[in-house]
Chains A and B, each alone.
Chain A
Amino acid sequence: MLANQASYPAVPSPVIWRLWLIQSLLLLLLAPAFNFWSLAIFALLLLAKLPQLLLSRPAWSLKLSNLLALTIVSALLLFARDLGVLHLMIHLLLLAAILRLLGFRQNDHADVQQLLWVQYFLFACCFILHQALGMALLVFMLLLLQLQSHYLAFAAPGSTFPYKSALKTSLIFVPLWLGLFLLFPRIAPLWALPGAKQAMTGLGDELNPGSIERLVESDELAFRVEFQSRLPQPDELYWRARIYDTFDGNSWRRRYNNDLADFSKIKHNSNLSFSYKIIVEPHQQRHLYSLGVPLKVNYPQRIDTDALLSSPSVLSQRASFQVQSVLTPVPDFPGAKNNTNLQLPPGNPKSRALAAQLAAEHKTPEQLVLAIGRYLREGGFRYSLNPPALSGDQIDMFLWQSKSGFCSHYAQTTTFLLRAAGVPARIVGGYLGGEWRDNQSYLEVTQRAAHAWVEYLHQGAWHKFDPTLQVAPERLFASLEDLLSAADLLRLEGNWLGRAGFAKQLLQQLEDLDYYWSRWVLGFDNEQQQSLLGSVKNRLLELAALDWWYYIKIILLLLTATLLSRLLWLRLTTAPPVISVWLVQELSPWLAKTPEQTVLQYLAALGHHSTLQQQSAVVAAHYQQLVFAGDIKAEKPLRAEVRQLKKLLKQQRR
């Protein structure tokens, strides 16, 4: 029964303008996925549409479009393969859309259908690249334009977009849409998809003196945390991210660990357990952040034997996950090879001698660590963001010559000394502290909080030790800016904004808004859906438990409310009757007005009929004054006189 496709009227040119505008803005939004020459080609192609739009030149032929498509696609495949699968897909989709627009046939509706289809897909690509609140709002605004052009392409030509009824329709549509979003069952990721390829940020694969300093210069957001349990103390906020355990004399390489572990059965003090939700900014790497030992994390994030969290794929967009952690030393896995944690390259003889001496004086690792701390504290070391460069035997040079450094210097020195003394040790890279926001409702951790500390093995568990605190104990409670000298501060980015009070406040409010956007919209997941459904169910159960009398009351309340609003509406919308109509209505019980009579004739007839000529003459005079002389002030006395006339008529009847 599905007969031939209905013929449509030709697509009007305002729609084509809109499609062109949408594509241009899509190109701008998707620009991060392009390299400079592909961006230039696409921009030129879009400009090539302008002569068609402005000077009504004919559309390109299919042959030309196909030839161009072939050339550009092969160029992309040959020279832009390093862009990655996702970016190439975005290129191809946008190319298809632009070429279809260049060869657009107004009479063939298949063209506009395909074009709209591909553009909807490109909007999804925009959301892969942009999730921050501002950008997302921009994309949604553009989506409204797309919906409008979709409507106009399938409406009668010359018709305008019905904004009023669209607004009314959105009253149904928006709840339906959000309801689907909130209630439609979600599936877990089925397979890993190629992510957007961008430069890695955050902690790298290698740690050397200087890498943390570079990180700290940036004020960029790393992640945000909302605690469901009690808020942790400043000395508990050590966010573990990576472990560096291989030293080659210059830098520390990170440990690659693919063994998964389950810590959920370890005994712990409930006072030290925390549950929190982390929203991570994309850093194009796989590591995630957690406090202490993570017991539970939601799928597909995983926990390895080093008690570190990681994501199965590279993090190229904002992600959020729920963690439960306990602040105990990380249990050591017996299978793990601890000899790497004792490994040291040759060199640094003075440090080795120092380590041997300390080891001889202190038998247990705990005492040894304290001794190293004392050595650093009392040895005249300085905390600085801008220490002199180290070369050769780095550890020796630091301990006896420069004596000034940042957290990575202290961490690597301590680890070296511990290993040289025979205690397995490693460097942990992560973040320390963070800034409480919006009345302590969430913690914001920026790259400025990047930090490195030490873990040493003692009685089958890795204990935390932060040597930096021996030198700069204030680091725990104050932000980095407060600890640094003026010269160091100049190296930090974004400080100029912090100085202007008003701008800072506005910026913070925007950041708060962005946080809640991430928390509630981007971070809405299966678990929250379940809890939402649960609470709805509870409400319904509560309702069911109520007495039937309540229902009757509610129904009565609703009924009266609707009636009242209806009455109010009628009153507001129906205009009061014209004065002549009102007058005749008032007096009609005594004498009906015939259609050919004027109001004045009627009044005269009434006067004659009821022998109240005098009063009816007064009414007629006022009526004339109001209607013919246009004296608005006469309305009140007229009404009064009409009532008076009515009164007299009533008396007469008796």
Chain B
Amino acid sequence: MQLLKHKLQSWVRHKIWVWLERRQPPVSQLTLRQNILYVLPSKYGISLFALAAILYLLGSNYQNNLILLLSFLLIGLLLLAIILAFKNLHGLVLQSGETTAAFAGDMLSVQLHLANQRGRQLLEFSLNGEPQLFWTLPSEVMLQVDSSRRGFYRLPRFKIQSLYPFGLVRCWCYPALNQSYWVYPNPLQQQMQQHLPTGDGELQWSHLSPYQMGDALQRIDWKRLSRQPSQPVVKVFSQQGSELHQLVVPSLSGAALEQALSQICAQILHLSHRHLPYTLEVQGRLLTSEQLTTAQNAGGQSTVQPGLSSEELHRQRCLEALSLC
């Protein structure tokens, strides 16, 4: 019996989800309007309506107009709560924020930008059944997403609801935004020592060269910059004694693949931390730091964030390739 009920529930939920997907496909900017807002009385609203009904009977039986007035006051309050609860959500603008990324198992929050959010109270954002109550709305809202499995995901449909004011009426909606996030494989730290070069003192200062777009900010010669603001110069390090690390994703599947991906992920992190050069081969595709621009066009999904050095960009692309493989 319990099972049947559960199945029925999940079936209904699925049907509604499908219906919502058709009716309200994800968009990058969403204004909460009348056709996607739902209003129904809350449990407390129903109990107060029952009280109004009792008072109506009481007032009729006592032939007491003052009790009837009180009863109609409660009914009026309910009707008013419908309007005010609707107004509390109506007109709120949701905008998808930047694509974010995290390693599997880490906390991952997706940022939403809100506009026209002033004067709204007690809005509850819930994603995957985890509610988050805002007393007043900030201009950015962080939604925590599930990051247990690697991959490239779209932000699932979430729920915004409010019982403000009086707690009599629940107004809610299910917004879906074109907002995605990456979950990289979980970096495995254990056997790093054997596989990885220690790399200490391997970096040596070689020469200075003019700044080019994509050079790491921390390599800019800041002292010189103050003297010659129009000609930034970067320090170039030669990586003596360190050969190019070639990382290859083995053609495995299942748990073995996950294990391998985790290890490679850890290696990438280590190498990029030491500024050591590396390449990654995934399913026959070779990623090197030189062919960034061409790969960018081929990759498609990857989003380049401004202000990243070429090295960081390479790292990001490699991690994304790992997530998808």
**Is B121 positioned at the interface, with any CB of A under 8 Å from its CB?**
yes
Contact B66 A187 (CB under 8 A): no
Contact B44 A124 (CB under 8 A): no
Contacts of B63 in A (CB 8 A): 189, 319, 525
A125 vs chain B, min Cβ distance (A): 9
- Tell whether A156 pairs with B167 under 8 Å between CB atoms, given A124-B55, A173-B76, A193-B62: no
- Please pick, from A1, A172, A177, A188, the residue contacting B72 in the complex, using a CB distance under 8 A: A177
In the complex, what distance in Å separates the CA atom of A190 from the CA atom of B53? 14
B69 vs chain A, min Cβ distance (A): 6
**Is A367 positioned at the interface, with any CB of B under 8 Å from its CB?**
no
Contact A177 B76 (CB under 8 A): yes
- In this complex, how many residues of chain A approach chain B with their Cβ under 8 Å: the count is 56
**Is A521 positioned at the interface, with any CB of B under 8 Å from its CB?**
yes
CB closest chain-B residue, reference A112: B167
- Please pick, from A6, A113, A120, A180, the residue contacting B75 in the complex, using a CB distance under 8 A: A180
B120 vs chain A, min Cβ distance (A): 10
In the complex, what distance in Å separates the CA atom of A173 from the CA atom of B76? 7
In the complex, what distance in Å separates the CA atom of A173 from the CA atom of B60? 23
User: Contact string, B57-89, partner A, CB cutoff 8 A, digits 1/0?
Assistant: 111111111111111111111011001100000
Contact B164 A154 (CB under 8 A): yes
- Tell whether A176 pairs with B70 under 8 Å between CB atoms, given A9-B135, A151-B165, A190-B60: no
Contacts of A120 in B (CB 8 A): 48, 51, 55, 70, 74
- Tell whether A189 pairs with B61 under 8 Å between CB atoms, given A143-B73, A151-B165, A176-B76: yes
Question: Would you list which residues of chain A between 141 and 156 have a CB under 8 Å from chain B?
Answer: 143, 147, 150-151, 153-156
Report which residue of B51, B166, B167, B170 has the largest number of chain A beta carbons within 10 angstroms of its beta carbon.
Answer: B167
**Is A3 positioned at the interface, with any CB of B under 8 Å from its CB?**
yes
**Is B163 positioned at the interface, with any CB of A under 8 Å from its CB?**
yes
Q: Chain B, interface size: which category?
A: 35 or more
**Is B159 positioned at the interface, with any CB of A under 8 Å from its CB?**
yes
- Tell whether A131 pairs with B16 under 8 Å between CB atoms, given A6-B133, A151-B166: no
- Tell whether A156 pairs with B64 under 8 Å between CB atoms, given A120-B70, A151-B166, A181-B72: no
**Is A186 positioned at the interface, with any CB of B under 8 Å from its CB?**
yes
**Is B129 positioned at the interface, with any CB of A under 8 Å from its CB?**
yes
- Please pick, from A121, A128, A184, the residue contacting B62 in the complex, using a CB distance under 8 A: A128
Question: Would you list which residues of chain B between 93 and 137 have a CB under 8 Å from chain A?
Answer: 121-122, 124, 126, 129, 131, 133, 135-136
Contacts of B163 in A (CB 8 A): 6, 8, 154
Contact B60 A186 (CB under 8 A): yes
Contacts of A147 in B (CB 8 A): 77
Question: Would you list which residues of chain B between 149 and 205 have a CB under 8 Å from chain A?
Answer: 159, 161-167, 170
Contacts of B71 in A (CB 8 A): 124
Question: Would you list which residues of chain A between 177 and 218 have a CB under 8 Å from chain B?
Answer: 177, 180-181, 184, 186-193, 195
- Tell whether A124 pairs with B58 under 8 Å between CB atoms, given A7-B133, A113-B44: yes
**Is B43 positioned at the interface, with any CB of A under 8 Å from its CB?**
yes
Contact A143 B70 (CB under 8 A): yes
Contacts of B43 in A (CB 8 A): 5
- Tell whether A6 pairs with B48 under 8 Å between CB atoms, given A124-B67, A155-B164, A176-B76: no
**Is B47 positioned at the interface, with any CB of A under 8 Å from its CB?**
yes
Report which residue of B60, B73, B159 has the largest number of chain A beta carbons within 10 angstroms of its beta carbon.
Answer: B73
Contact B72 A180 (CB under 8 A): yes
- Please pick, from B40, B68, B121, B159, the residue contacting A156 in the complex, using a CB distance under 8 A: B121
Question: Would you list which residues of chain A between 450 and 497 have a CB under 8 Å from chain B?
Answer: none
- Give me the interface of A with B, judged by CB distance under 8 Å: 1-9, 109, 113, 117, 120-121, 123-124, 127-128, 131, 136, 139, 143, 147, 150-151, 153-159, 169, 172-173, 176-177, 180-181, 184, 186-193, 195, 317, 319, 521-525
Contact sample, A vs B, 22 pairs, CB 8 Å cutoff? A1-B16, A2-B170, A5-B42, A8-B163, A9-B135, A109-B167, A113-B47, A121-B54, A123-B70, A124-B58, A124-B59, A127-B66, A150-B166, A151-B165, A155-B121, A156-B122, A157-B135, A158-B135, A173-B80, A176-B79, A181-B65, A191-B61
The list of the 5 closest CB pairs from A to B, nearest first, reads A156-B135, A127-B66, A180-B72, A154-B167, A177-B76
- Give me the interface of B with A, judged by CB distance under 8 Å: 13, 16, 40, 42-44, 47-48, 51, 54-55, 57-77, 79-80, 83-84, 121-122, 124, 126, 129, 131, 133, 135-136, 159, 161-167, 170
